[in-house]
Amino acid sequence: MTSIIGNGPVYTNSAQGPYLENGAVVVEGTHIVAVGECQKMLAEYPNHTFIDTGQQLIMPGLINAHHHFYSALARGMVVKEPKVSKTFVEILENLWWKLDAHLTLEDVRLSAQVSIIDSLRCGVTSIIDHHASFGAIEGSLIEIAQCAESLGVRACLCNEVSDRAGAKKAQEGIEENLHFIEFAQQSDKTMLSALFGLHASFTLSDATLMNCAEAALVSNTGFHVHVAEAISDVKDSLERCGKRVVHRLDDFGIMNANSIAVHCVHTDESEHELLAAKGVTVIHNPQSNMNNAVGAAPVLKMMQRGVKVGLGTDGYAHDMLESLKAVAILQRHLQQDPSVGFNEQFKMLFENNAELVSGLFGVRLGVIEPGAAADIITMDYDPPTPLSAENAKGHLLFGLCGPLCTNAMVNGRFVMRNRTLLTCDEQDIRGQARASAPKLWAKM
């Protein structure tokens, strides 16, 4: 596709110039070839199709660094005898572990589809997902990958390995990861990637961790694991091996520069030093952490020590701009200091997330500049105050939200135009999901 997307302010997120007052982005094929003042771009590329945004904000596609597609069918769930969950482990036992134990491959497909649809509607074009379906492990990742391909998003997938359902299921999980890693390596690597999924230290034995480490070594793949999300994870690790979670996982080679450590709510300075030294990317999920009442991750301290911290939703939501808001709010509440968190939250979403997925997909993402992949969104934002280079971040934080997204281009192809998805029959998928969800709830 050769096109010019222009006639609006452009937030490029580029060091070459983060903002243009009335700009345009020139796309050829799957990449951006030029960015500049709109009339200048039209003059230099007269044969390109002009897509007039009508003064809508143009910006890079957003990135979700930790999602759980499989949780989608739990929304509004009604059960006959609901149990009150007072701890994080009880939340897992009473809800999520029951849910994933009963998922069929059809449920997996529908969950992925509606999650991706909702993500695209919020301007999210690249997603790192952590999957669990202990009722249907084999083939689940390829099922999700096919959904991502057909809907048009970049997806990095993994399968959760855990001993909580027994040794047989743990081995099936290892094999599913290995099979999918091979599948992803033979696919379009700019659109599909893989990590080796682990649940968390407290549901993994030493033997299983060793098996996972040896299996992943063959494929030179990083890990995607929940780390010290609740204090119970730390207590388990200390009681079992006398070490905190990050140190325990590091003993098996899990903590490396290709790995993602999710949450890290209950981590100390020694763990932060190790994470920084090993180049591990930590993914912060503030809304989920507050919802589960597990605590506030010390992400500002981590970043001060050189830890790379990205941003995700943990399946709680799809809107990365709302997650952006939550970062500073949580940290300010925690420290009782309204001056903290502003620059750090932007670094998480717009720098560290971009760096992470650029490495996973082998193309420059999260930025609008020549040579970057053409992942571009437009936002129907009519600012009530002047929008400029000096205050663009203030508008991103306090003015924007995901549902303002009107158009989404991924890899040079429009997947949403004027809020209409072009890659699926959205109403049909949502109808299928509504019909399937009560059947899943009845099993639980």
Tens-digit pLDDT profile for residues 380-429: 999 999 999 999 999 999 999 999 999 999 999 999 999 999 999 999 99
Whether the per-residue pLDDT at 159 is higher than 90: the answer is yes
Looking at residue 23, what is its pLDDT?
98
- In three-state secondary structure terms, 193 is strand
Q: What is the mean pLDDT of the chain?
A: 97
- In three-state secondary structure terms, 190 is coil
Q: In what order do the strands lie in the sheet with 62-67?
A: 62-67, 124-129, 154-157, 192-194
User: Residues 27, 412: contact at Cβ < 8 Å?
Assistant: yes
Checking DSSP bridges between strand 413-417 and strand 420-421, what pairing results, if any? Answer: antiparallel
pLDDT confidence bin for 258, thresholds 50/70/90: very high
Q: What percent of the chain has pLDDT over 70?
A: 100
- Give the containing element (helix H, strand E) for 114: helix 105-121
- In three-state secondary structure terms, 267 is coil
> Which amino acid appears at position 311 of this protein?
L
Phi, psi for 280 (deg, rounded to 5): -75, 140
pLDDT confidence bin for 337, thresholds 50/70/90: very high
The stretch 88-104 carries a mean pLDDT of 97
For the stretch 307-325, pLDDT in tens is 999 999 999 999 999 999 9
For the stretch 285-296, pLDDT in tens is 999 999 999 999
User: Residues 26, 32: contact at Cβ < 8 Å?
Assistant: yes
pLDDT confidence bin for 219, thresholds 50/70/90: confident
Interatomic CA distance for residues 273 and 31, integer angstroms: 37
- Helix-strand-coil split of the chain, %, nearest 5: 45, 20, 35
Q: Name the token pair of 404.
A: 């303002």
Interatomic CA distance for residues 235 and 242, integer angstroms: 9
Which residue ranges form the domains of the chain, and what is each CATH number? 2-61+363-421 (2.30.40.10), 62-361 (3.20.20.140)
Q: What pTM value is reported for the model?
A: 0.98
The stretch 23-28 carries a mean pLDDT of 98
Looking at residue 83, what is its pLDDT?
84
**Angle (deg, nearest 10), helices 426-443 and 105-121:** 130
CB neighbourhood size of 78 (10 A): 9
Looking at residue 1, what is its pLDDT?
74
Whether the per-residue pLDDT at 150 is higher than 90: the answer is yes
> Which amino acid appears at position 200 of this protein?
A
For the stretch 31-54, pLDDT in tens is 999 999 999 999 999 999 999 999
Whether the per-residue pLDDT at 81 is higher than 90: the answer is no
